[in-house]
């Protein structure tokens, strides 16, 4: 496994895609490397590109307030993006940019080993779940990664709207606040106990009866065919 500091260094010096030519800084992420919770957005914006820190613009202030409301300090979680360099004009990251950059994120996840991954927006949710997603209907409830997922099986994923979405659609703020309240409940509730399914005692005569029944059925069929 890669050392976390080496992962960060490799992100800062990465030139594997054309975004390296237009960035001011790569933005590896920020927070507690020993945390159990990671928040993942899609890509840095203008302020993040300048400061080399994730979520420090308007969307970052919204995220900070939402974290504070549920008793989380951003210094105690880890915040990053699927793409580490700012796309020009804050456009959506392109598939080739995501595919080139996302191995950095996988290494970060492997090093931190979070219990919960909170995705911010549909891009991060889709990449983590490795399927088509419907953020408008799937936000605010937990999922688990499936067998064969690149980050592992059974990892808790909690999809949320991206805070920046509320800047363009203020009506989403109430939904985002509700989802963070649900996240708080999910984080503080003990996992449900798996109930052991009671074993049904098998009748020791069942196998004998079934064999006899099968033999009787065969003899009856053979008689119908005129074999006896």
Instruction: Measure the CA–CA gap between 110 and 150, rounded to whole angstroms.
Output: 10
Residue 109 lies in a domain: yes
* pLDDT number for residue 102: 98
Would you place residue 189 in the very low, low, confident or very high pLDDT band (cuts 50, 70, 90)?
confident
Token code pair at residue 188: 């503080």
Residue 219 lies in a domain: no
Residue 44 lies in a domain: yes
Instruction: Measure the CA–CA gap between 69 and 219, rounded to whole angstroms.
Output: 76
Would you place residue 190 in the very low, low, confident or very high pLDDT band (cuts 50, 70, 90)?
low
CATH number at residue 103: 3.40.470.10
Residue 95 lies in a domain: yes
* pLDDT number for residue 227: 36
pLDDT digit string (tens) for 211-220?
444 445 545 5
* pLDDT number for residue 37: 98
At 64, which helix (H) or strand (E)? Answer: helix 58-69
Would you place residue 195 in the very low, low, confident or very high pLDDT band (cuts 50, 70, 90)?
very low
Q: What domain range is 100 assigned to?
A: 4-188
* pLDDT number for residue 156: 98
Residue 33 lies in a domain: yes
DSSP letter, residue 57: S
pTM of the model: 0.83
Would you place residue 21 in the very low, low, confident or very high pLDDT band (cuts 50, 70, 90)?
very high
Residue 206 lies in a domain: no
Residues 89-114, mean pLDDT to the nearest whole number: 97
User: What strands, in cross-sheet order, belong to the sheet with 116-120?
Assistant: 30-31, 78-81, 37-41, 116-120, 156-160, 143-144
The answer to whether residue 2 scores a pLDDT higher than 90 is: no
Tally of CB atoms within 10 A around 107: 19
Provide the domain count of the chain.
1
* pLDDT number for residue 222: 47
Question: Under a CB-based contact definition with an 8 Å cutoff, are residues 47 and 68 in contact?
Answer: no
pLDDT digit string (tens) for 137-188?
999 999 999 999 999 999 999 999 999 999 999 999 999 999 999 999 999 9
Residue 107 lies in a domain: yes
Residue 41 lies in a domain: yes
Greater confidence, 193 or 157? 157
Greater confidence, 198 or 62? 62
pLDDT digit string (tens) for 114-142?
999 999 999 999 999 999 999 999 999 99
Residue 189's nearest CA partner among 164, 149, 156, 150 is 156
Residue 43's nearest CA partner among 28, 33, 58 is 28
Q: What percent of the chain is predicted at pLDDT more than 90?
A: 82
DSSP letters spanning 126-156? HHHHTS---HHHHTTS-EEPPTT-TT-SS-E
């Amino acid at each position: 496994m890669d050392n976390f500091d080496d992962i960060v260094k490799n992100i800062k010096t990465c030139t594997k895609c054309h975004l390296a030519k237009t960035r001011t800084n790569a933005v590896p992420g920020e927070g507690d490397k020993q945390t159990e919770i990671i928040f993942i957005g899609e890509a840095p914006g203008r302020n993040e590109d300048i400061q080399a820190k994730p979520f420090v613009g308007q969307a970052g202030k919204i995220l900070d307030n939402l974290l504070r409301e549920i008793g989380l300090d951003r210094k105690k979680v880890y915040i990053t993006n699927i793409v580490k360099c700012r796309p020009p004009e804050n456009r959506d990251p392109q598939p080739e940019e995501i595919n080139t950059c996302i191995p950095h994120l996988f290494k970060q996840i492997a090093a931190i080993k979070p219990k919960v991954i909170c995705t911010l927006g549909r891009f991060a949710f889709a990449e983590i779940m490795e399927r088509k997603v419907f953020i408008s209907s799937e936000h605010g409830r937990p999922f688990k990664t499936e067998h064969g997922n690149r980050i592992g099986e059974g990892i808790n994923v909690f999809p949320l709207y991206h805070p920046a979405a509320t800047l363009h659609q203020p009506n989403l703020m109430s939904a985002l606040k509700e989802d963070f309240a649900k996240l708080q409940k999910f984080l503080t509730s003990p996992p449900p106990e798996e109930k052991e399914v009671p074993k049904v005692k098998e009748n020791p005569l069942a196998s004998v009866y079934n064999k006899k029944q099968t033999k009787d059925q065969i003899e009856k069929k053979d008689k119908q065919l005129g074999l006896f």
